[in-house]
Chains A and B, each alone.
Chain A
Amino acid sequence: MKGRMQPKQNEAPTRAPTTTVPFYNDPKKRAILFQIATLLMVGLLAFFLISNTLANLEKQSIATGIGFLQKESAFEIGESPIPYSAADTYGRALVVGFLNTLIVSFIGIVITIILGTLIGIARLSSNWLVSRSAAAYIEVLQDIPVLLQLFFWYAFFYNVLPSPRQALNPFMGVFLSNRGLVFAIPEAHPVHKYLVLALAIAGVAIYLMRRWARLRQARTGQPFPVLRVSVALTIGLPLLIWIFGGAPTAMNVPVLKGFNFVGGTNISPEFTALLLGLILYTAAYVAEVVRAGIQSVSKGQTEAAMSLGLRSSLVLNLVVLPQALRVIIPPLTSQMLNLTKNSSLAVAIGYPDFVSVAGTTINQTGQAIEGVALMMIVYLTLSLLTSAFMNWYNKKTALVER
């Protein structure tokens, strides 16, 4: 030890002797040593695991690499948004699974936000009955595992709902049975293409109008009824096209033939149970987020805005919401991410999401490492994208202080 300190003393012999601190008492050197030790340990552990894995793979003659993606999958997938058959490759099967995950997450997120916001507002209602009901909903649904809720709804669809012959018919053209939800859709008609186009044009027009209205208001101070015109555009433009296209009203109504329905559109019990379970569970959390956000805006803000003479809709739009959203959006995003991650529980009730398809792939090819790595990469990418969005949003809305 002394030998090690020697060179330093030689370099600066004129300095006071107090500089000779042993290296283990020097925080800087100690930190370096500690880090080297940590890295060494992690490295050794990784080396140990990797060498074991390689040895095991070789011994059990498991193929490595992602070559299996090009092989024929030889399994069917219950529902698929793109054409798929057992003759397709594993790669395509995984794409189907990924799309299914995206579909269930996207629909789930949209409905959850609406439902959660309603319940959150109900929780703050001055109406005792409404606010107590919302509180009970939040407390109960948050304290039951989401997997249990999924099982419950799935069993509910299979055991409690009647067979297609006695299907429940709550509205005209909608049938609920243990084969899922069947409802009428409009008969295919060439005008439908143009309806979508009209909607897209309306969207662009609204965007441009908002910009123009903002600029005009900044220049002249005159407000423009953006919301009303937007609603009129969104509804009116497609309606106009529909009427010009001959106003087709034919519906493809599901009809009971034999043991099941023919026609209409069918949503499988797996999908419905998964969606229902995820929505009801996550909405309880979203409601709490919304409640906290609204409560975070102090009453003084509302009063100040009112004393400026703003209408109550403007008070909400210009003063309360921008401040509440700053508090709401970050936890809301993480709830949305939770919903996406929880959609992986689909594997337990047989909906072919990404994890479920990847699980089947692992079983068939035996390539567990690649399969699990794929699952992790997909979800990691989704969550990294979300946090990138979060950072961008936080930067955009952060309080600009003096």
Chain B
Amino acid sequence: MNAEIERQPEEEIKPPVASVGVIGWIRANLFSSWFNSILTLITLYVLWKTVPPFFRWAVIDSNWFSTAEVCRGSEGACWSIIPANIRFILFGFFPYESQWRPLVAMILLVALLFYSRDRKHWKKSLAYAWVIGLVVMGLLMKGGILGLASVETTQWGGLPLTLMLSVFGLTAAYPLGVILALGRQSKMPAVKTLCIIYIEMIRGVPLITLLFMSSVVFPLFLPEGMTVNVILRAQAAIIMFTAAYIAEVVRGGLQGMSKGQYEAAESMGLNYYQTMRLVILPQALKIVIPPTVSQLISALKDTSLVVIIALYDLLKTTQSVLSDPAWMAFSSEAYIFVALIYFLCCYFMSSYSRRLEKELDTGL
């Protein structure tokens, strides 16, 4: 036996050409059996039928900076609808000459988000930076001081509105959801019942009914003469809705904690608040990062529903452009552009969550 093992390395037999390299890969991954071969051929045929025509439509024959008339005579995509209307799509009815303000605010927001990506930067100074940043953004949008013309919130629209609804919606819904989850796990029957009723009720209805409620029913709830801004009402509805879903996700994490963790914390003399903050939540929230992020992504997508109560978010401004007879026929191009924006936001969120999950993994 020993002799056999020793002899082997001497004859370095190369694997057959057909099982390594490109050919080998193709054989193993595309044509491993007759069924797989048929599948590959069918997929290739479908791709051949769809991708080249789409490519010709979207790239080769497309128009980028032409007028609508030129587009109508052409076979390809009319991307010109985007540059021709970009300022309305992005900023809505924000006064034309002041549109640099929402632009600066958005750049500030993206810069802050980008800077906060790295966990090394998570310090107290970052929290201050966020507070200052948000105030500056608010001032830029609202105006009224430092010689900036005041802009009514009814004129806010487009991408800044979408980003605002999403960022505030997510940041406010998360802590609220954690509190609701803790309430649902509470031993106090009254608190527990209230939380269960809230969570189950909100999760049982579509967001659109809550938005209807915020836009047509809520004004009736307020005493006479008191009004709440319609954007704020929609924002509140989104927060309430998302919080209920976050609560269920976090509850899953809390239930995943073993009893020993609670007992250990108690035996160290920690009170309820300390137990939760120092022992339970850091572990529970870490387990549920993936489902939490997919909830947050849903919430980001759901902000588009404010279209239905006639807020001019990114989707609504695009629709208004499409109601212009000149551009009416180019809805696909406009919607693909908006879809791309949403896709990029969601994609960055999900890839960031995968990274965070890996970084926070302590091997437990």
Query: Which positions in A face B, CB cutoff 8 Å?
Result: 31, 34-36, 38-39, 42, 49, 52-53, 55-57, 59, 125-130, 133, 139-140, 142-149, 151-152, 155-156, 158-160, 341-342, 344-345, 347-348, 355, 359, 362, 368-369, 371-372, 375-376, 379-380, 382-384
Contact in complex: A129, B40 (CB < 8 Å): yes
User: Do B209 and A35 have beta carbons less than 8 Å apart?
Assistant: no
A375 (CB) vs chain B CBs: closest residue? B209
In the complex with contacts A52-B220, A152-B332, A383-B204 CB distance below 8 A: yes
Q: Which A residues lie within 8 Å of B188 (CB)?
A: 31, 34-35
Check B329 against A159 for contact (C-beta < 8 Å): yes
Q: A39-B190, A156-B331, A359-B212 are in contact. Are A130 and B206 (CB under 8 A)?
A: no
Would you call the interface of chain A mostly helix, strand, loop, or mixed? Answer: helix
A213 to B216, CA, bound (A): 59
Closest A-chain residue to B319, C-beta based? A151
> Counting CB contacts under 8 A, is B335 at the interface?
yes
**Residue in B32, B216, B332, B346 whose CB lies within 8 Å of A159:** B332
Contact B339 A148 (CB under 8 A): yes
* Interface locus among B91-99, B255-263, B304-312: B304-312
A362 CA / B361 CA spacing, docked (Å): 51
B209 touches A372 (CB 8 A): yes
Closest 8 CB pairs of A and B: A155-B331, A143-B346, A128-B29, A35-B190, A383-B204, A145-B301, A341-B206, A145-B304
Given A35-B189, A344-B209, A375-B209, CB of A143 within 8 Å of CB of B203: no
What are 8 A-B interface contacts by the 8 Å CB criterion?
A35-B189, A126-B32, A144-B342, A145-B305, A148-B338, A341-B206, A342-B206, A383-B205
Interface centre among B208, B213, B308, B335 (most CB of A within 10 A): B208
Task: Pick the contact of B30: A129, A133, A140, A341 (CB < 8 A).
Answer: A129
Q: Is the CB of A56 within 8 A of B342?
A: no
Task: Write the nearest CB–CB distance from B140 to chain A, whole angstroms.
Answer: 27
Q: How far is the CA of A144 from the CA of B206 in the complex (A)?
A: 18
Which residue on chain B has the smallest CB distance to residue A122? B39
Determine whether B328 belongs to the interface, using a CB cutoff of 8 Å to chain A.
yes
Bound Cα distance A146, B188 (Å): 39
Neighbouring A residues of B223 by C-beta, 8 Å:
52, 55
Q: A38-B190, A53-B220 are in contact. Are A348 and B307 (CB under 8 A)?
A: yes
**Residue B322 is within 8 A (CB to CB) of chain A in the complex:** yes
Determine the residue in chain B with the shortest Cβ distance to A140. B343
B208–A145 touching, CB < 8 Å: no
Nearest B residue (CB) for A384: B204
Chain B residues within 8 Å of A341, by CB: 205-206
CB distance from A161 to the nearest CB of B (A): 12
* Closest residue on chain A to residue B349 by CB atoms: A143
- Of the listed residues B301, B315, B322, B338, the one surrounded by the most CB atoms of chain A closer than 10 A to its CB is B301
- For the complex, is B302 an interface residue (Cβ under 8 Å from A)? yes
Q: Least Cβ distance of B164 to chain A in Å? A: 16
CA distance A130 to B39 in the complex (A): 7
With an 8 A cutoff between CB atoms, is B270 at the interface? no
Instruction: List residues 34-79 of chain B with CB under 8 A from any CB of chain A.
Output: 36, 39-40, 43-44, 47
- Contacts A125-B39, A145-B302, A372-B213 given; indicate if A38 touches B343 (C-beta within 8 A): no
CB distance from A342 to the nearest CB of B (A): 7
Q: Are B305 and A129 in contact (CB under 8 A)?
A: no
Beta-carbon contact of B203 and A347 below 8 Å: no
Is A379 touching B204 in the complex (CB atoms < 8 A)? Answer: yes
CB-contact partner of A35 in B32, B191, B216, B222, under 8 A: B191
B221 interface hit (Cβ, 8 Å): yes
Interface 0/1 of B10-44, CB less than 8 Å to A = 00000000000000000001101000100110011
Evaluate contact between A52 and B221: CB separation under 8 angstroms: yes
CB of B297 within 8 Å of the partner chain? yes
Using Cβ atoms and an 8 Å threshold, which residues of chain B touch A371?
Answer: 212
Q: Complex Cα distance A94/B166, Å? A: 33
Q: Check A152 against B331 for contact (C-beta < 8 Å).
A: yes
Residue of B203, B212, B224, B319 touching A56 (CB-CB under 8 A): B224
Q: Decide yes or no whether B201 CB sits under 8 A from chain A.
A: yes
Expressed in whole angstroms, the minimum distance between the Cβ of B248 and any Cβ of chain A is: 10
Q: Are A379 and B209 in contact (CB under 8 A)?
A: yes
Q: For the A-B complex with A133-B47, A149-B339 known, give 17 more contacts whose Cβ atoms are closer than 8 Å.
A: A34-B191, A35-B191, A38-B194, A49-B221, A52-B221, A52-B223, A55-B224, A56-B220, A130-B39, A144-B342, A151-B331, A372-B212, A372-B213, A372-B216, A375-B205, A375-B209, A376-B209
- B residues less than 8 Å from A376 (CB atoms): 201, 204-205, 209
Cα of A35 to Cα of B183 in the assembled complex, Å: 11
Question: A281–B305 Cα gap in the complex (Å)?
Answer: 15
**B212 engages A383 (CB within 8 Å):** no
Q: How far is the CA of A149 from the CA of B332 in the complex (A)?
A: 10
Q: Does B7 contact A (CB under 8 A)?
A: no
Pick the contact of A368: B189, B203, B217, B330 (CB < 8 A).
B217
With a cutoff of 8 Å between Cβ atoms, the chain A residues found around residue B212 in the complex are 355, 359, 362, 368, 371-372, 375
Interface status of B123 (Cβ within 8 A of chain A): no
Which residues of chain B are near A128, meaning CB under 8 Å?
A: 29-30
* B187 interface hit (Cβ, 8 Å): yes
Cβ contact of A151, chosen from B209, B222, B315, cutoff 8 A: B315
In the complex, which residues 152-210 of chain B have their Cβ closer than 8 Å to any Cβ of chain A?
A: 187-191, 194, 201, 203-206, 208-209
Closest residue of chain B to A37 (Cβ to Cβ) is B190
A152 with B209: CB separation less than 8 A: no
Closest to A288 in B: B294
Q: What is the chain B residue whose CB lies nearest that of A154?
A: B331
Nearest residue (CB) in A for B338 is: A148
Q: Are B220 and A368 in contact (CB under 8 A)?
A: yes
B43 adjacent to A129 (CB under 8 Å) = yes
Q: Which of B40, B194, B205, B342 has a CB less than 8 Å from the CB of A143?
A: B342
Chain B stretch 208-237: residues in CB contact (< 8 A) with chain A: 208-209, 212-213, 216-217, 219-224
B272-315 vs A, Cβ < 8 Å mask (1 yes, 0 no): 00000000000000000000000001000110110110000001
Given A34-B188, A57-B220, verify A145-B209 contact (CB < 8 Å): no
Q: Which residues of A lie under 8 Å from residue B219 when comparing CB positions?
A: 56
Give, as a whole number of angstroms, the nearest-CB distance from A183 to chain B: 23
Q: Which chain A residue lies CB-closest to B215? A: A368
B347 at the interface (CB under 8 A from A): yes
**Which residues of B have CB within 8 Å of A156?**
331-332
Which of B213, B222, B342 meets A145, CB within 8 Å?
A: B342
Q: How far is the CA of A55 from the CA of B224 in the complex (A)?
A: 9
CB distance from B125 to the nearest CB of A (A): 33
Tell me if A345 and B329 are in contact (CB < 8 A).
no
* Known A34-B188, A143-B343, A151-B319; contact A379-B205, beta-carbon cutoff 8 A: yes
